[in-house]
């Protein structure tokens, strides 16, 4: 009964608790609100894993007008999310939106702004999911504790060049049937300098995720003991 009430409360709150990626930080430096990001038209989630919106959110297949941020190989990149268009002091993400955090990167064939991210071009470089089953502590809880932030170190062996950097949080509060999982996606445009010569494994987004994946269709209110994060294994370089 208690878990049913939790699920109902999460569903009721879901319409008011959507969020977007709003800031990139490089080696501790705040690069400003919505700079270098492909900003979606609103904060609604993507729910169709076959849609091209899964790549870089709605209207995210082009970065026309978006500048590309130069970053050194091996840089520490921090992503900062919020429910509204400012740092208000509220929870950046609703506490009921239990989510894994995933980061992918894709090398552009030329300039980043014209790269649509289609096909097998994406490499997973970070993931965090259900951190502690006993307390039901998720990666999203850590993001909230850090004022909407999570970080990844870019593998230093990535070749120099232009890239799309894709951060994703998958809210699972209504994911017991499909479509239910809410994909919150943000893409930034970066240019890596001083890189290496690695050739990492790649997958397609959309393409790799399936509606039947246990990390996409899942009841998190049913004594969840473990969670399988969607996507391939993390490549660490």
Q: Any idea what the CATH number is for the domain that residue 156 is in?
A: 2.70.50.70
Give the total number of structural domains in the chain. Answer: 1
Residue 216 falls inside a structural domain: no
pLDDT recorded at residue 17 = 79
Nearest to 148 by CA among 89, 101, 81, 99: 81
Structure tokens belonging to residue 91: 């929870």
Is 59 part of any domain?
yes
Rounded-to-integer distance, Cα 83 and Cα 177, Å? 25
Give the range of the structural domain holding residue 25, as residue numbers without chain letter. 20-204
Residue 93: which residues within 8 A CB-CB, separation 6 or more?
17, 19, 81, 83, 99, 140, 143, 144, 148, 169
Question: What's the pLDDT score for residue 4?
Answer: 43
**Residue 9 counted as domain residue:** no
- Residue 4 within a domain: no
Residue 109 CB coordination number (10 Å)? 9
Q: Calculate the alpha carbon distances from 201 to 62, 187, 235 in Å.
A: 24, 19, 7
Report the pLDDT value the prediction gives residue 88, as an integer from 0 to 100.
80
Query: Would residue 225 count as lying in a domain?
Result: no
Question: What is the distance between the alpha carbons of residues 173 and 96, in angstroms, rounded to a whole number?
Answer: 7
210 in any annotated domain: no
Is 228 contained in some domain? no
Query: What local confidence, expressed as pLDDT, does residue 16 receive?
Result: 58
Cis peptide before 179 (omega within 30 of 0): yes
* pLDDT digit string (tens) for the chain, length 237 residues: 434 444 444 444 444 579 999 999 999 999 999 999 999 999 999 999 999 999 999 999 999 999 999 999 999 999 999 998 778 878 898 889 999 999 999 999 999 999 999 999 999 999 999 999 999 999 999 999 999 999 999 999 999 999 999 999 999 999 999 999 999 999 999 999 999 999 999 999 999 999 999 999 999 998 899 999 999 999 999
Residue 187 located in a structural domain: yes
């Amino acid at each position: 009964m208690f878990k049913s009430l939790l699920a109902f409360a999460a569903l009721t709150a879901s319409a008011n608790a959507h969020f977007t990626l709003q800031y990139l930080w490089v080696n501790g430096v705040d690069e400003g609100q919505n700079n270098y990001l492909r900003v979606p038209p609103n904060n609604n989630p993507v729910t169709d894993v076959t849609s091209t919106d899964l790549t870089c959110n709605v209207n995210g297949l082009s970065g026309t007008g978006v500048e590309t941020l130069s970053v050194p190989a091996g840089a520490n990149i921090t992503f900062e999310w919020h429910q509204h268009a400012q740092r208000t002091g509220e929870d950046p993400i609703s506490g009921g939106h239990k989510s894994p955090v995933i980061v992918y990167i894709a090398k552009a064939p030329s300039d980043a702004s014209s790269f649509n991210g289609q096909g097998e071009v994406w490499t997973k470089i970070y993931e965090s999911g259900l951190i502690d089953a006993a307390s039901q502590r998720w990666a999203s809880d850590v993001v909230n504790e850090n004022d909407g932030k999570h970080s990844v170190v870019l593998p230093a062996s990535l070749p120099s060049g232009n890239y799309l950097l894709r951060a994703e949080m998958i809210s699972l509060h209504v994911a017991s049937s499909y479509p239910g999982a809410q994909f919150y996606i943000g893409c930034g445009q970066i240019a890596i300098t001083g890189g290496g010569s690695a050739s990492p494994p790649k997958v397609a987004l959309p393409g790799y995720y399936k509606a039947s994946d246990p990390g996409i269709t899942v009841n998190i209110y049913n004594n969840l003991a473990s969670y399988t994060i969607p996507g391939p294994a993390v490549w660490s370089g």
